[in-house]
Amino acid sequence: MDVGFIGLGIMGRPMAAHLLDAGHRLFLYDINPVAEDLTAKGGVACQSAAEVAGKADVIITMVPDTPHVEAALFGPNGVAKGLSSGKIVVDMSSIAPIETKRFASEINKLGCDYLDAPVSGGEVGAKAASLTIMVGGPEEAFAKVKPLFELMGKNITLVGGNGDGQTTKVANQIIVALTIEAVAEALLFAAKAGADPAKVRQALMGGFASSKILELHGERMIKRNFEPGFRIELHQKDLNLALQGARSLNLALPNTASTQQLFNACVAQGGARWDHSGLVRILETMTGFEIGQNADAISGGD
């Protein structure tokens, strides 16, 4: 298939590499220079998103946020300028469900289909081609693109119509954020109580509290590795979508709101680009104690 890939950052770059490895012809665009490993595999670097859309049958976007998708699709040299009828636009970024419905209807007016197909699984999942992909859009377009999804992910679900993929991703981000907060509180509690947090994590891994977050982000918290991964500023964007949705749906999401406050505090401490597991650092600041610090050395603390 002739595939376009727009947005070749932490996620897009390994995802595009899997499509190239499977023998698809790829037309690539990013506002930054395209990585050489992709052109070395045969990917063609284009000058604009419009050029990508002119050359490819399926055009994938993987950019940070709603305004970036809007710019890539409808900007001066955007995808819409290069589309002809019968093509499929697939947005794999995590963005606003409501704006997604608007983008889909604009693309439909050009005689093309639109799929929203955000992912979960992070950089690790992108590299291992094991992403979870949650899709919204027409069944026929989903069936055509599914072989490409299968090269990038494992659990691939058509949830419903346009917007439903993004709604699913917001739900995912609520669970991930609140679980990071829970793991951070638990490991901090254990460490301050004098237990070895690495042993605590290991002990909990097989039980009911086990999760991917405990496994991967718990390890990051213990090893003090806050290089992203998934940046706090991106998770703030996702929780903002949840909280805006809650406001318009008259829905209470109290713990999503409080976790967003903790992300806000991280950013205030210079942490916009920390991995989201770095949320633990703000809890550590509150308590004046770091995981990994020797609990015996702390006096008082009641």
**Structure tokens of 137?**
């859009």
> Which stretch in 2-10, 184-192, 209-217, 241-249 sits in contact with ligand NAD by CB under 6 A?
2-10
Nearer to ligand NAD, 62 or 188 (CB): 62
Centroid of chain to Cα 296: 39
- Closer to ligand NAD at the Cβ: 12 or 54? 12
Q: Is the dihedral of CA 223, 275, 149, 43 positive or negative?
A: negative
* Per-position x/- string for 167-206, each x denoting binding to ligand NAD as judged by CB under 6 A, each - no binding: ----------------------------------------
Query: Per the residue annotation, which of 169, 199, 212, 237 is the catalytic one?
Result: 169
Cβ closest to ligand NAD, residue 8 vs residue 19: 8
**247 contact partners, CB below 8 Å, separation of at least 6:** none
CA distances from 142 to 116, 133, 136 (A): 10, 12, 8
Quote the least distance from Cβ 119 to ligand NAD, whole Å: 5
How far, CA to CA in Å, does 11 sit from each of 4, 113, 127, 223? 15, 23, 8, 23
The reply to whether 10 sits near ligand NAD by the rule CB under 6 A is: yes
The C-alpha atoms of residue 103 and residue 80 are separated, in whole angstroms, by 10
Q: Which stretch binds ligand NAD (CB under 6 A): 3-11, 17-25, 97-105, 239-247?
A: 3-11
Taking the complex as a whole, the smallest distance from the CB of residue 79 to ligand NAD amounts, in Å, to 9
What's at 160, amino acid-wise?
G
79-138 residues near ligand NAD, rule: CB under 6 A: 93-94, 119-120, 122-123
Tokens at 225, concatenated: 């590795």
Q: Does 63 contact ligand NAD by CB under 6 A?
A: yes
- Number of neighbouring beta carbons within 10 Å of residue 185: 14
Q: Residue of minimal CB distance from ligand NAD?
A: 9
Catalytic-residue membership of 169: yes
The answer to the question of residue 159 lying near ligand NAD (CB under 6 A) is no
CA distance 226 to 273: 9
The CA-atom distances, in angstroms, between 72 and each of 53, 80, 110, 134, 190 are: 11, 9, 16, 21, 46
Residues 248-287 that bind ligand NAD (CB under 6 A): none
- Counting Cα atoms < 13 Å in the Cβ hemisphere of 50 gives 8
Contacting ligand NAD (CB under 6 A), which of 45, 62, 115, 214? 62
| Site membership for ligand NAD, residue 220 (CB under 6 A) | no
- Which residues are marked as active site? 169
| Residues within the interface to ligand NAD (CB under 6 A) | 6-12, 29-32, 49, 62-64, 68, 71-72, 93-94, 119-120, 122-123, 229-230, 234
